Amino acid sequence: MSENPQTKPSSNDRLKDLVSWDSDWKGLRVVVTGIGVSGFAAADTLIELGARVVVVDAATSPKALAQADTLKIVGAADVLLGEDAVKALPLVDDEKAELVVTSPGWRPDQSLLAAAKRAHVPVWGDVELAWRVRERKGRKTADWLTITGTNGKTTTVGMTEAMLQAAGLKAIAVGNVGTPILDALRDPVEYDAFAVELSSFQLHWSESLSPVASVCLNVAEDHVDWHGSYQSYLADKAKIYENTQKACIYNAEQIETERMVENADVVEGCRAVGFTTVTPAVSMLGVVEGLLVDRAFIEERRTSAEELASLTDLGADAPRHMVANALAAAALVRAYGLDSTAVREGLRNYLPGDHRIQAVAKQDGVLWINDSKATNPHAAAAALSAFESVIWIAGGLSKGVNYDEIVKNNANRLKAVVLIGSDTSDLEASLKRHAADVPVIGQAKGDTERVESAEAAGAAAEQSPIFGDTVMAHAVQSAARLAESGDTVLMAPAAASMDQFTSYAHRGDAFIRAVRDLVEGQAQTTEE
């Protein structure tokens, strides 16, 4: 790691002085792209700061129209909706915009963002804006512990939050986990610390973050379509470590994350700390005889380790990836100064979220599992490896990834595959190459008719969510016809959801509803 005690200033003279809530934001001309959760929070914040704001979004759904009406009522914001609104950089009060604040899902090559680049208008993400306004006179400034990775982010951020709260701190999980950081900053509660989940999209649009501690949990091929290449994806993930103050936490079992730390510009005195699911070396956290232990944040680390928790604190038969997530969270809070009691109590208090290897039902010996949050092959592989005889419901927006490895490594577990998604050609090709004997069930006629761009498909799914429910109901019925006692029906799509659903949560909820309808229907038939 090289040392960089200061954040590099922006080339824009006005923007470089915008470093707190109390800076002079008044009259700043800003275009906000997106009127979803992140975009709405950014626009609302900028209006409160006194900026002049234009919000644009391709969506014209009832939800988007309602958000637009709210912003117009709140204050000085113009809202432009529809496909034409996002093709070029609009003027703000008949003048050129001074700043664009983009929602994380917008690709850098999107027409409006490309136009901003050509016009030399800086582009920030909502996280960059949040960092700039985090300090406010008369209020406590929350410390940031930042988390990224291809998989495990939400679990780790939840564990980190639970540990911080177990120590008696006012802490909240924010960012990509669902609560915008800007909303937490404006909350009447004055938080001590934020556990911040950051996607590669959010990191791409960030430049001046300086967290207390940071971690990249793991990396695997994902979002290649958005970033342009796997190397660009890795470069954006590596930004998590820039300007870290106390500890850069890396996965000692994945060399890519260690190299990210080695190449990061950090604050003087920042340490590199690894985590591993086996016996740890010095300056690492790991596992010894069923215990999570620390050999990094203790004085006697060369000769001993401190017990933090037991594997049993994670619940019965915790999978390896869950242990890794717990160790990463423990490393973050230990860097922040928490003791072992907070780590242990936090893990005991932590409740896993929905849609991640979530048991939905078990009937007639068939286990139904919802893993809708498995939006890439790496995440889905963790679920597949946990079961023996699997009917796999998979497919969706592939994001340019390759399915060969997951299919090849799990072909012996697959009893059948049921496809969902607007374009399953890549997954089908991998199944033919590496699991040719496994039956593959396609979608019902009509389920694939809406094959357009990702943006258009997502907008259509938002306007007609019943479409995705119909897709999932057919998939569940197909799986039920194949399932026998001892089988697991696993909905782990290994793809994004926005071609047929509004989100991975919508996809998971549709699966849960379809399974419960099936189970209740079977129970009623048995009773009759």
159 vs 281: CA distance, rounded Å: 23
The DSSP string of 281-298 is: -TTEEEEETTEEEESSSS
Residue 500 confidence class, pLDDT cut points 50, 70, 90: confident
Q: How confident is the model at residue 7 (pLDDT cuts 50, 70, 90)?
A: very low
Is 151 annotated in a binding site? The answer is yes
- Whether the per-residue pLDDT at 222 is higher than 90: the answer is no
Look at residue 312 in the predicted model and tell me its pLDDT: 93
The pLDDT-based confidence of 440 (bands split at 50, 70, 90) is very high
Q: Which of 152-161, 323-332, 445-454 has the lowest mean pLDDT?
A: 445-454
Whether residue 286 is predicted with pLDDT greater than 70 in this model: the reply is yes
pLDDT at 75: 66
pLDDT at residue 282, rounded to an integer: 96
Q: What's this model's pTM, rounded to 2 decimal places?
A: 0.76
**pLDDT at site 464:** 47
Is 410 annotated in a binding site? The answer is no
Report the C-alpha gap between 128 and 32 in whole angstroms.
13
Q: 376 a known binding residue?
A: no
* Mean pLDDT rounded to a whole number for the chain: 89
Greatest mean pLDDT among 9-13, 425-429, 501-505: 425-429
36 is annotated as contributing to ligand binding = no
Q: For 319-375, list the strands marked E by DSSP.
A: 358-363, 366-370
Report pLDDT for 458.
Answer: 47
Q: What span, in angstroms and rounded, lies between the C-alpha atoms of 164 and 134?
A: 19
Could you tell me which residues come within 8 angstroms of residue 74 by beta carbon, excluding any fewer than 6 positions away? 44, 47
Go through the domains of the chain in sequence order and give each one's CATH number.
27-121 (3.40.50.720), 129-349 (3.40.1190.10), 358-521 (3.90.190.20)
At 110-136, the pLDDT tens digits run 999 999 999 999 999 999 999 999 999
Distance CA 462, CA 62 (A): 9
Binding site annotation covers 153?
yes
152 marked as binding residue: yes
Sign of dihedral through CA atoms 472, 478, 479, 480? positive
Q: Tell me, what's the pLDDT at 457?
A: 45
Q: Is the pLDDT of residue 399 over 90?
A: no
What is the structure's pLDDT at 315? 78
Rounded (5°) CA angle 293-299-303:
65
What is the band of 444 on the pLDDT scale with cuts at 50, 70, 90?
low
pLDDT at 454 over 70: no
In this structure, what are the phi and psi dihedrals at residue 496, rounded to the nearest 5 degrees? -70, 170
pLDDT of residue 316: 65
pLDDT of residue 176: 86
Tens of pLDDT along 10-26? 446 889 999 999 999 99
Model confidence at 523, pLDDT cuts 50, 70, 90, reads low
Q: Tokens 């592989």 label which residue?
A: 381
Consult the annotation and say whether 179 binds a ligand: no
Answer whether residue 296 shows pLDDT above 70.
yes
pLDDT of residue 80: 95
Q: How many CB atoms lie within 10 A of CB 316?
A: 6
**Residue 435: predicted pLDDT:** 95
